[in-house]
Amino acid sequence: MKKELLTGNEAIARGAYEAGVTVATAYPGTPSTEIIETISQYRDIYAEWSPNEKVALEVGIGASIAGARVLVAMKHVGVNVAADPLLTFSYTGVNGGLVLVSADDPGMHSSQNEQDNRFYGRFAKIPVLEPSDSQEAKDFVRIALEISEQFDTPVMLRITTRIAHSRSPVELGERMVFSLKDYEKNPRKYVMIPAYARQRHLLVEQRRKALEDYSEKTPLNFVEWGDHKLGVITSGVSYQYAREVMGNVSYLKLGMTNPLPRKLIEDFVKQVDEVYVVEELEPFMEEQIRSWGLKVIGKDLLPRTGELSPELVAEKILGENIKTEVAATVEEELPMRPPTLCPGCPHRGVFYVLRKLKLVVTGDIGCYTLGTLPPLESLDTCICMGASIGTALGMEKARGREFARKVVAVIGDSTFMHSGITGLLDVVYNLGTVTTIILDNSTTAMTGHQDHPGTGITVKKQSSKPVDLPALIKALGIERVQVVDPYDLKQLEDIVRQEVSADEPSVVITRRACILLDKKKEGQAYEVELDKCTGCKSCMKLGCPSIAFRENTAQIDDTLCNGCGLCSQVCKFGAIRKAGEAGE
């Protein structure tokens, strides 16, 4: 049997292929993005980037009811967006199996919080599976689909960042033949009016009990007996950490963590002298086990924030300081390198202008969140995907029209498609006057340049009809819509001043493609005429990585400069020009 070294995300995609999935949907979000990107390469599977996670799940639900096997992927906060259809889908159940991948992010490597989505599984009363390596990530997709169809329920496959992005060997199999199930009209199952939903809720409770029995017997949950003096109950990547440092102790490895196998756990606890629950983030298993009157140790020692590691497990449980092998070490302490916008990023000039005008800026999720860091320091708020516009409206309603003249909402084009449209609709409907700036860089940049309805390109690289953004905004009821090049600072500043003073809602679209979409430089690099530079540091306020300050003058690294020209526009002394034009 052929083996390949796959990341967890690649393995999940492979698992979907082998298990006969024919429909896969997602909205990009780290650490889950590569799942749908990999699946899109399989010709036998229809794959799409949906405008947001709620739509992704709704498309998946439709495909499941129609009889297909389905995979829907999203990062942990995406499940918040999809929670509404998810909790009702738990009632209706499936036709073709559906697995929902929730990619949690302990440590917040690229997220605004580190919620533990196993609680969503318990809340929705659906099974939760947790793979501990890439092989299990692949295998658990098939098992999740089988559970889904056997128990008439969606199934959550919960992974974490380390599983998503780590590589381990995976044994590949053949694609199974899964015929599309027959579709039958069944309103009592799929139409959740109260009369039908009450009946379905009773079935959900019956299913919960059946799943508890399944969890006791499934080989997903198993014991590895060792020394009976110490036992470890664990799941996911935490199992690997514990095995690496705790040696010949006894392990209860749980691949299915909702519902928990109570009898299996009780028997395990009785047979060892001392039991630790090793799990990342919340005491999801520990609290349930304690509620059964069992004595276990968990979050008394282990943190409920951030990722675990072998070193941390050894230190907290064994009281040992260990060092694991790493590929390379650096002896010298490296300087801090805070994240920053790329050289030539079209967002930089926008934040420079907003800071200059001392506006209150409600921000959103995307590259432009970096506008909150020095020296740009423009953002006042950032809550979640699509929240910037509603937050700005709330400020206006709380503090009045005069305050609103100082408020702008900032949102990217992909995020606007995700969930910004409804916020702008609310501004119109509820007579708001705030100005919204849509930073249109023609991609979903922060997650790696995925397309969206505004780009007119599907995940399969097919051309579709791109959204006409100004026309869409006008259709929502906004009369004042202007499109501006964010590299033209004077025009941008004039338009922003004009729109924030208007007595009606307005939208400014700053349109310039992400500098990384086209690897070619924007233009000729710029340089500093040292005899003209006064050392005022105005150019440093842009926060451009290509500009440094040495020996009392600014200097430009031409290997980084993309020739956007923003620095020459902010220099009051004409000291910055295109290379080769100095002194003319």
* Sequence ranges of the binding site for [4Fe-4S] cluster: 533, 536, 539, 544, 561, 564, 567, 571
Decide: 32 and 157 in contact? Cβ < 8 Å.
no
What's the rounded Cα separation, in Å, for the pair 163 and 161? 5
Q: Which residues contact 491 (CB under 8 A, 6 or more apart)?
A: 484, 485
Binding-site positions: 533, 536, 539, 544, 561, 564, 567, 571
314 and 245 Cβ atoms separated by less than 8 Å: yes
Q: Are 305 and 299 in contact (CB under 8 A)?
A: no
Report residue 513 as tokens: 């493609």
Nearest to 72 by CA among 84, 91, 86: 86
- Which one-letter amino acid corresponds to residue 457? I
DSSP secondary structure string for all residues of 40-66: TT-TTSEEEE-SSHHHHHHHHHHHHHT
Spatial distance between the Cα atoms of 40 and 50, rounded to a whole number of angstroms: 13
58 CB neighbour count, 10 Å cutoff: 19
User: Is 339 exposed, middle or buried (CB count within 10 Å of its CB: 0-12, 13-18, 19+)?
Assistant: exposed
CA distance between the termini of the chain: 69
H or E stretch covering 140: helix 134-151
C-alpha–C-alpha distance, residues 540 and 549, integer Å = 8
- Adjacent-strand bridge partners of 360: 407
Q: Helices (DSSP H) in 174-258: which residue ranges?
A: 187-190, 194-217, 236-246
3-class secondary-structure state, position 568: helix
- Asked if 510 and 354 touch (Cβ cutoff 8 Å), the reply is no
Q: Which two tokens stand for residue 36?
A: 């749908």
| Inter-residue contact 413 to 438 (CB < 8 Å) | yes
The token duo for 45 is: 């599977």
DSSP state for residue 336 in the 8-state scheme: P
What residue ranges in 364-492 does DSSP mark as E strands? Answer: 379-382, 407-412, 435-440, 480-484
558 three-class SS? coil
Calpha distance 294→277 (Å, rounded)? 12
Distance CA 91, CA 267 (A): 33
Ramachandran angles phi, psi of 519, nearest 5° = -65, -15
**Parallel, antiparallel, or unpaired: how do β-strands 227-235 and 274-278 relate?**
parallel
